Structure formats: C-alpha cells, structure tokens
Structure 1
Amino acid sequence: MFDADSGFDVYQHTQTDARAAQASPRELVLMLMDGLLDEIARAEGHMLGGRLEEKGRSIAKAIDIIGGLDSALDLKQGGALAENLHQLYDYCGRQLFSASVNNEPAHLAPVIRVLEDLRVGWLGLGSEAEA
C-alpha cells in the first residue's frame, strides 16, 4: 500500500483518516472533491510525461472516487438535484475514461471545470448554513 521509504505517505493517510472521521457529510464531499481534482492533476502529469501505467492508476482512482460520490446519492429522495448530480458524475466518468483510452489530456479540462463548479456549490452550502 505504501512505499517503505515514505513515512510521509503513512502520516498523510493517517491525517486524512482522522479528518474524515470527524467530518460532516458536506466536508466529506469536499474532501473527496479535493482528492479527485488532485488525482486528475496527477493523471494529466502522467499523460504529459508518458507514464502510461501511472496514468492508468490515477484515472482508475479518479473514476473510483466519482463512483463513491455517485453511490452516495439518494435518487429517490434527492429528486432532480440528485439526478442532475448523477448525470454529471456519469459524464465525468465517461470523459475520464475517454481521456485515458485516447491518452488525451485535453479531455480532462471539461471534467475539471464541472468538478470545480460543483466544489464551489458545496462550499456555498456551508456559508449559507452558517448565515
């Protein structure tokens, strides 16, 4: 799971676990969004660097995170909002797959825009709740 030489990776993983254990559902979504955007940035770097195996792992991890976000949706009680999020997550997953198959970093840009917009929306929910 971790490199034997990377104590920092173990520390970072432990810190993330601790934050997640104390986080609200909104904070968990934001943590996942941040991790997702970081992983997509790594995938882009791997594409540009010609590191195909690492690119594949990063894309797979990003798709897994999107799957986790999607599986948390309650489509019955969430109504149109949940359905719209489901469609956006589906689009992002398909776009990531296309970027990977075609080794095309430009296919990542629309996904990043969608996710950044969603992240801003989640951040806004927090400030509305505090007001």
Structure 2
Amino acid sequence: MNESYDGYRAVDLEVRVCSASPYELVLVLFDGLLDELSRTRGHIEARHFELKGKSLEKCMNILNALNSTLDYEQGGELVHDLSRLYDYCLHRLVEISVSLSVTGIDEVIHLIGQVREGWEGVHAARR
C-alpha cells in the first residue's frame, strides 16, 4: 500500500513541476519540505530511526535547494535573512537528528510554514 502511495506522490510531483512557474516551483519545494518534516516527526515518535535519518536528509537537501534559489544581487536584506533562517533550520535538523526532539521539528515546521505563507503571498500578488 505504501508503495502505491509513493508512486502516486511521485507522479503528482512530476505533473506539478512540469506545469509550474518559477514561483510555483518554490512553493512545491516548501510543500515537499513541510510534508517531509511531518514524516520525520512521525518517524521520531514511532522510533523508526533509519527512516528518520532518510527523512532528515531529504529535508536538508530541500533546504539547500531553497537556499540555492536565493538571488543575492536583487534580493537585498530579505535574501540574507532567508539564508540565515535556512541555515538555522539546517542546524536545528542536525541537532534534532541526535536529540530526537519533536519540539524542534515543530519549531522548524512553524518557521518554514511562515516563510511559505509569505512566498505564497508574493506569488498571489504577481498574478
């Protein structure tokens, strides 16, 4: 059953990416990160440590991808603030990997959720 769901998610993601604008691609990254953070939380609670490690690695890869999309030349102080926030979230995920802190995951989910909301607002304003 889980394999069927994973297959569906992969096809859904491919369709979303193929039809997305650059702004929508960033939203796809945020959504993927938030989904994976939730999965990480579940793995910690269920004590599935190998799966927790794989989920954290995916989260870190997505955060690095988000950080690499920042335009330092045109973004000003906001871009530097976002970069610092992404770095903070990466640092927290490393700590969480050892501490298994569900509270820490919740903090990162909250921070990324706020940034996603702001990005969605930027996207809506540009339409």
**TM-score, scaled relative to structure 1:** 0.89
CA deviations 1:48-107 (Å, max 9, x no partner) are: 111110001101100110000001112233221211110010011111111111111111
- CA–CA distance in structure 1, aligned partners of residues 44 and 4 of structure 2: 27
Larger RCO (CA within 8 A; separation ≥ 6)? 2
Match of 1:19 in 2: 16
- Whole-Å Cα distance in 1 between the matches of residues 9 and 102 of structure 2? 27
Aligned to 2:112: 115
1:124 aligns with 2:121: yes
Q: Name the CA distance, whole Å, in 1 between partners of 2:9 and 2:43.
A: 22
| 27-36 or 72-81, which deviates more | 72-81
Conserved? CA contact 1:92–1:111, under 8 Å: yes
Task: List gaps (5 residues or longer) in structure 2.
Answer: none
What residue is the counterpart of 1:92 in the other structure? 89
| Aligned counterpart, 1:62 | 59
Structure 1, unaligned stretches of length 5 or more? none
Write out the 4+ residue segments of structure 1 that deviate beyond 2 Å after TM superposition: 5-12
Instruction: Give the structure with the higher percent helix.
Output: 2
CA RMSD of aligned residues (A): 1.7
What residue in structure 2 maps to residue 105 of structure 1?
A: 102
1:129 CA displacement: 2.0
Count of aligned residue pairs for this structure pair: 127
- Displacement after TM superposition at 1:19 (Å): 1.4
User: Which protein has the larger Cα radius of gyration, Structure 1 or Structure 2?
Assistant: 1
